[in-house]
Structure 1
Amino acid sequence: MNIHPLLPCETRPTDEARAWRNEAMRQIEADFNRSADTHLVRVELPRAPGITLYLKDESSHPTGSLKHRLARSLFLYALCNGWIGPHTTIIEASSGSTAVSEAYFAKLLGLRFIAVMPRTTSAEKIAAIAFQGGKSHLVDDPKTIYAEAARLAHETGGLFIDQFTFAERATDWRGNNNIAESIFLQMEREPQPIPEWIVCGAGTGGTSATLGRYIRYRQYATQLCVADPLGSVFHRHYGDRSVREVEACGSVIEGIGRPRVEPSFIPTVVDRMIAVTDAASIAGKRIISEILGRRCGGSTGTNIWACAVLISEMLASGQSGSIVTLLCDSGERYGTTLYDDVWLDDRKIDIVGPLAQLREFFERGVPVLEQSV
């Protein structure tokens, strides 16, 4: 019996199909072997003595974002389940970065790929998908991407690979070089090797599920904070589990925040959530880009604002320690949106105040307070 109505139901595989699948998995594993681990970047905090901030730089993956890990896991999961064959069209619902990474793996295996995305997705991401040989299918209402992806999969006889459902189960959270294991291994020789906090965002919820489960599995004292756009449902659901959907997320920060609680979001592994306005996220993105000397994406800015709040609280209580967060993707994907002041003005997003707050924090140690929801 097929366990999911949207998944292809494979009959007993032929020797030819089995050989193709083995070769497909070999190619993915070979691609992994060609890739080094991502860097852990230390950020000096001269106004926060005893506290160190680290950024796990996921922008250095071959497809330029954290979602490269997820795409690899989703393809291996689907291959092992018998959902992908040599002629399968791969369909995904995405805000962009996952689609770029999945297009890469589809191209690696010689498969057709279609990304269903909101029409507001940055032109740079659409171009990156095309560069990998994928096709973008844009919709006006972001809430319809799931149904549209399922429809296309039905029409093509393909696979809706469905990151929002399968992210948390496709990743081996016990280890196998997942992002959590990588962080703790890289922290081993640091002065404060066990972080007080790890901060990430939630789009599917797969990364926070992996981090939270691994922390508990290894019995670390580290706490997990999820930084969430103010318009997203996740922080509302965290506070009240009966809240499962909002009319619209409304955030311009791509990749994190959702209008519905996705199946892969596991709130019980999260210790705290911090809601962040778009203006604060964009200010965070710009200030960390100045510090690093290169452009970072919007969700990284969301993480930076949450880190500033946590560091401010640690300073106020006399606490020392380390904090690790994610540099999710490069800012080069947002040159015509988040880095365009005219684009921000058209959407009435004023970053002057939040940017001044973060400058005061990094340069003088002035506390950043959690924004009221």
Structure 2
Amino acid sequence: MSETTSASGGSGLPPGTWEAQCPVDRAWLSDAVRIVEADSNRSADTHLLTFPLPAHWGIDLYLKDESVHPTGSLKHRLARSLFLYSLCNGWIGEGTTIIEASSGSTAVSEAYFARLLGLPFIAVMPRSTSAAKIALITFQGGQCHLVDSPGEIYAESRRLAAETGGRYLDQFTYAERATDWRGNNNIAETIFAQLAQERYPIPEWIVVGAGTGGTSATIGRYVRYRRHATRLCVVDPENSAFFGGYAARDVGHVTDAGSRIEGIGRPRVEPSFLPTVIDAMFQVPDAASVAAMRWCTDQLGRSVGGSTGTALWGALQLIAGMRARGEHGSVVTLLCDGGERYRGTLYDDEWLARQGIDPAPYAAQLDGFLGSGRLGP
């Protein structure tokens, strides 16, 4: 960065003062922040839906419907935070090419914000990403750069950033620090505000999946900061490294194959994952995620995605335990995105068969859940 001395009276600074030459035009930056913030200001908060459980159980289940964001998923929040973080750090300027490593939904949301700012956007993603998500990225004006293995996306994103002179937003590193976890309308603060008039306003559990680790970090920190007794449970799909890293207390070296449940689960434990703010964690079979996804769609009358099924299965496991112990209270989880993105995969029986996923045994358990309050063979 070059520096100059100011002339007397030119900038109003004393003679001999050194002024850094800002790499980003401040007028452009100011307007860019305004544009991103205006997107949030145009939107009401997402709904907290009640899930139909028997009233006599004394347990209330809520799903925070993140599918109603302009880009249709929870990742809209993350993308907004990442853009504001990068803008205010001086990492993005007029004409900067934005690059992200993403399995889909984050890229959809970042492409949206890049287009708002008139910036080119490239998503680096595995070839296994659903065609529906690729179409959504291109609809938002982004480009898709496909790689053969999920593990290649990080290095390839860095390479493209260097090649284009662009900025790799790196959601997996910056997700936990880009969001103001103390408040400022983050997802944790809004959950508690929306529960304020409910019979159990402080939930016993909040259940989320881990994609970057940013959502669990935000919620885990917030409940500690506000001194709530709420516990945080993170659920992880098959073939994801998060659960193995958590169980082994070794988040730096555990790897796995990746996940078939798009949006959550990773082949490595990402830097934004903070196991120290998590109270419980367990792994959910992919077949259980699919069964819970489809069951939730039937119960709510609205189509939900696979990560919602994973989180819901975890929430129901906790509720079954509360029922068995005679406990009352509330449980909150997330409706992460809509099921229309997965018509050719998780809602396609032939695709499931090719993947060796049979949701039938778990669907049978769910069919009896509202009558018995139990989950299990």
Amino acid at match of 2:367: R
Instruction: Work out whether 1:368 is the aligned partner of 2:368.
Output: no
> What pairs up with 1:207-218 in 2 under 5 angstroms?
207-218=215-226
Question: Shift in Å at residue 251 of structure 1?
Answer: 2.5
Structure 2 gaps of 5+ residues are 2-19
Q: Secondary structure at 2:124's aligned position in 1?
A: strand
Task: Rate the CA distance shift 1:263–1:345 in 2: closer, same or farther, 3 A.
Answer: same
Give a deviation string over 1:42-68, Cα, whole Å, max 9, x none.
012117610010000000000000000
Amino acid at match of 1:365: S
Structure 2 distance, partners of 1:366, 1:76, is: 44
Match for residue 341 of structure 2 among 330, 333, 344:
333
Aligned to 1:274: 282
Amino acid at match of 2:374: P
Amino acid at match of 2:21: R
* Residue pair 1:276, 1:306 contacting (<8 A) in 2 also: yes
Moved more, 26-35 or 156-165: 26-35
Structure 2 distance, partners of 1:48, 1:20, is: 57
> What pairs up with 1:95-244 in 2 under 5 angstroms?
95-242=103-250, 244=252
Structure 1 gaps of 5+ residues are 2-10
Give a deviation string over 1:199-225, Cα, whole Å, max 9, x none.
000010000000000000000000000
- Size of the aligned set, in residue pairs, is 359
Give a deviation string over 1:170-221, Cα, whole Å, max 9, x none.
0000000000000000000001000000000001000000000000000000
Structure 1 distance, partners of 2:340, 2:36, is: 26
Question: Shift in Å at residue 30 of structure 1?
Answer: 1.1
Structure 2 distance, partners of 1:365, 1:186, is: 29
Aligned to 1:253: 261
* Residue pair 2:53, 2:61 contacting (<8 A) in 1 also: yes
Match for residue 55 of structure 1 among 63, 82, 85:
63
Larger Rg belongs to: 2
Amino acid at match of 1:113: F
Question: Shift in Å at residue 116 of structure 1?
Answer: 0.3
* Residue pair 1:358, 1:368 contacting (<8 A) in 2 also: yes
Q: Secondary structure at 2:337's aligned position in 1?
A: coil
Aligned to 1:86: 94
Aligned to 1:356: 364
Q: Secondary structure at 2:50's aligned position in 1?
A: strand
> What pairs up with 1:301-316 in 2 under 5 angstroms?
301-316=309-324
Task: Rate the CA distance shift 1:306–1:356 in 2: closer, same or farther, 3 A.
Answer: same
Aligned to 1:5: none
Give a deviation string over 1:292-322, Cα, whole Å, max 9, x none.
1111000000011101110010011110000
Structure 2 distance, partners of 1:48, 1:350, is: 33
